[in-house]
Amino acid sequence: MKNAPETPRKHKLIEYANGPSLEEINGTVEVPKGKGFWRTLFAYSGPGALVAVGYMDPGNWSTSITGGQNFQYLLMSVILISSLIAMLLQNMAAKLGIVSQMDLAQAIRARTSKTLGIILWIMTEFAIMATDIAEVIGAAIALYLLFHIPLVIAVFVTVFDVLLLLLLTKIGFRKIEAIVVCLIMVILLVFVYQVALSNPDWGGIIKGLVPSAGTVASHPKVNGMSPLSGALGIIGATVMPHNLYLHSAISQTRKINHDDPEEVATAVRFSQWDSNIQLTFAFVVNSLLLIMGVAVFKSGAVKDPSFFGLFKALSDTTMLSNGVLIAVAKSGILSILFAVALLASGQNSTITGTLTGQVIMEGFIHMRMPLWARRLVTRLISVIPVLVCVWMTRNLPAVDEHEALNNLMNNSQVFLAFALPFSMLPLLMMTDSRAEMGQRFKNSLWVKVCGWVSVVGLTVLNVISLPDAFAGFLGDGAAAGQVQMAHIMAYVAIFAVLALLAWCTADLYRGNKKLMQLQGDAHHDVAEEA
Q: Please tell me the distance from the alpha carbon of residue 161 to that of residue 145, in angstroms, as a whole number.
A: 18
Domain count across the chain: 1
List the pLDDT tens digit at each of the 530 positions of the chain. Answer: 445 444 445 556 677 677 788 888 888 888 988 788 999 999 999 899 888 887 887 767 777 888 888 888 999 999 999 899 999 999 999 999 999 999 999 999 988 888 998 999 998 888 888 888 888 888 888 999 999 898 888 888 887 776 666 666 677 778 888 888 888 888 888 888 888 888 888 899 999 999 888 887 777 877 767 788 788 778 766 777 888 999 999 999 999 998 899 999 999 999 999 999 999 999 999 999 899 888 887 776 777 777 888 888 888 888 777 777 888 888 888 889 888 888 888 777 777 777 888 899 889 988 887 777 777 787 788 888 888 888 888 777 877 777 788 778 777 767 777 788 889 999 999 999 888 898 889 999 999 999 999 888 888 877 777 887 787 777 667 788 888 888 899 899 889 889 999 999 999 988 888 888 877 666 555 555 65
Q: 3-state class of 16 per DSSP?
A: strand
Reading phi first (left if > 0) and then psi (alpha if -120 to 50, else beta), residue 283 is in: alpha
Residue 24 lies in a domain: yes
Q: Please tell me the distance from the alpha carbon of residue 27 to that of residue 260, in angstroms, as a whole number.
A: 15
Give the Cα-Cα-Cα angle 444, 445, 450 (nearest 5 degrees): 100
Instruction: Phi first, then psi: give them for residue 225, nearest 5 degrees.
Output: -115, 135
- The answer to whether the CB of 362 falls within 8 A of the CB of 125 is no
Which residues 6+ apart lie within 8 Å of 425 measured at CB?
455, 459, 501, 504, 505, 508
Handedness of CA 276, 277, 282, 284 (dihedral sign): positive
Domain that holds residue 62: 16-384
User: So what's the pLDDT on residue 201?
Assistant: 87
- The answer to whether the CB of 215 falls within 8 A of the CB of 77 is yes
Q: Give me the amino acid identity at 375.
A: R
Residue 91 lies in a domain: yes
Residue 530 lies in a domain: no
Write the CATH number for 178. 1.10.4160.10
Residue 37 lies in a domain: yes
pTM, two decimals, is: 0.87
Question: By C-alpha distance, which of 294, 332, 95 is closest to 205?
Answer: 294
Question: By C-alpha distance, which of 266, 345, 375, 233 is closest to 36?
Answer: 266
Q: Please tell me the distance from the alpha carbon of residue 93 to that of residue 248, in angstroms, as a whole number.
A: 5
- The answer to whether the CB of 268 falls within 8 A of the CB of 44 is no
- The alpha carbons of the chain give a radius of gyration, in whole angstroms, of 24
Q: Please tell me the distance from the alpha carbon of residue 248 to that of residue 245, in angstroms, as a whole number.
A: 5
Residue 277 lies in a domain: yes
- The answer to whether the CB of 186 falls within 8 A of the CB of 344 is yes
